[in-house]
């Protein structure tokens, strides 16, 4: 679960920089890419017999997506 927490921090910081630099509309594609990559790694983890390293990657990607989505949504709403 450390990967999830670390991913939350990285995602929030990353999306803040990207929104400031490129705008909100273009960074939506970053959020979609993070979501798709999280889902793909999750599907792979479910089909592997020894999923320990992939589980850490999955938690990190999921946390990155969650952190970026939360930060991006709050910026769009003006919080």
Give the CA count within 13 Å in the CB-facing half-sphere of 77: 7
What's the pTM? 0.78
What residue numbers bound the domain in which 67 lies?
Answer: 2-77
Cite the beta strand spans of 1-79 per DSSP E: none
Residue-wise pLDDT tens digits, 24-63: 888 888 888 888 988 898 888 888 877 788 888 888 988 8
Distance of alpha carbon 63 from alpha carbon 10, whole angstroms: 8
Distance of alpha carbon 20 from alpha carbon 70, whole angstroms: 16
Averaged pLDDT of the chain = 84
Number of structural domains (the chain) is 1
């Amino acid at each position: 679960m450390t990967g999830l927490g670390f991913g939350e921090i990285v995602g929030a910081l990353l999306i803040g920089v990207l929104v400031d630099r490129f705008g909100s509309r273009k960074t939506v594609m970053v959020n979609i890419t993070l979501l798709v990559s999280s889902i793909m790694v999750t599907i792979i983890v479910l089909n592997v017999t020894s999923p320990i390293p992939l589980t850490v990657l999955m938690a990190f990607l999921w946390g990155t997506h969650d952190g970026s989505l939360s930060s991006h949504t709050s910026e769009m709403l003006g919080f």
